[in-house]
Structure 1
C-alpha cells in the first residue's frame, strides 16, 4: 500500500478531464492537481519554454511527495516527457492524441485531429501519425483561440461556436468519421462539437486510456493504494479559482480548490 498522492499537471484547467477519469478508476488514490493557467496555452510557446514550465510543475509535485506524475497536457507530453523521464526517478504518464484507434477503425479513411500548434508540430505526433496512418488521410487543425476561451470560462460562448464551425466544417466536407481531440481542454467542448458534427462522426479523447495506463504503472511499481479510506483531493491554480471550480462541478465540493502562486 502506498498512500502518497498522484501528481497531475496541465497548462491549465483542461487536464481536469483526465483527473476525472483517474478518480473514477482509482477513487482511493490521493491526488494533487496543478492548473498552470497563468502560462496557458503551452501550445503557443517554444519547446524550451514548455520544458521549463514542465520542470517547474514537476518540482512542486515532487516537493509534495507525489509517487507518480501524470502529464495531463498533450503539448507538455510531446515536448518534455522524454526529459522528465530521464531526469527524475518517479514514473511519468504522458498523453498524446489517440490517432491509433481512430485510423484503425475509420471506415471512410479520413480522420480529423483538433489540437494545439505545439502538439501538431511535435516529433512525437509526427512519428505516431506516420506509423499508424499510412493508408489514411489525417486532417490536422490547429485549435487556435480555444484554450484561452475555456480558461476564461467561456465554453458556451458565441466565440467558441464560431471557431469550432470554422475548424470543423472543412473536416466534415472531407467526410471524416472520427475526430481526435488532441488537447485535454477540448473534451469540455464535446456538447458544442456534437451540435456541429454529423452523428456519423465519433469523437475520441485520451482520458480513459490515460487512467488505465496510470493504474497499470502503479500496479507494476507496487504503488497502488488499496485502502478504503477517503482520498484527499487537492486542486491548485495560479489564476482564476472560480473557473476551475466550475469545471469540477460536484467534485469541487468534496475537494480542496485553492489559488497557489507557482
Structure 2
C-alpha cells in the first residue's frame, strides 16, 4: 500500500488523535499516543483538525455580526472561542518561545526559560501584539460575513500546516518535553499535510485573488525564517516553537488578507 493510501486509511484514527491533543473537546485518541505510535505519526492531519476546530469560531463570528454586533467584537469573541477550544495551546507556545529567545543568552538558558511556565515581558508583548493584529485584521476581513467565517477556517488549516512544516524541518532541541514525547514527523508525510491544505488554499485564492496568494507566500517565509532562528538559537524544535510557528503563520495570514478586504 502506498504512503498516500495508508494516510487515507488511517485518516479517522489520525484525525481523532490530532483533535484529542490540539483541543479541549471531549475526544479521546484510540489508541493513546505512545512510543509505538507517537503523535507525530498522526500529525499530517493537523490541517484538517484545524478546519474542524475553527468551525465553532466561524459560526460564532457569523452569529454576532448577523445580530448587529460590530465586526471587531465578533472577531474578538470568535478568536477567544478558538483559544478556549484549544486551551491556549499555541498561544502558550508563542509566549514561552518569545521569553526564551528574547531573554536567554545561551542555548541552555533559552531552553530553561522556555520550560518555565511563568510569563515574562517578551511573552506579554508577543501575545499582546499578535492578538491585536489578528482581531483587527479579522474584523476588517469580516465586513463580508461569509468571507470572515471562511477565512477563520482556512487560516486555521494553513497555520497548522505550516507549523507541521516547522516540526518536520528541524530535529528535536531537547530529549524531554512535549516535542520529544510526540516524536518527529517524517518529511515524506509533509505531502499529505499539503494535500489536506489544498481546499483552504483554493478558497483563499478565490476570495482574495491577489492577497490570498501573497498571504500564503509571506506566512511560509515567516515560518521558514522563524525555523532558521530556532535552529540557530536552540538547535531544533520544541513543543513551544511548534505552537509559536502556528501563531506566527496565523498572524501573517490574517494581516495580509486584511489588505485585500
TM bracket (short chain): under 0.3
Structure with bigger strand share is 1
Structure with bigger helix share is 2
Could you state the TM-score of these two structures normalised by the residue count of structure 1? 0.26
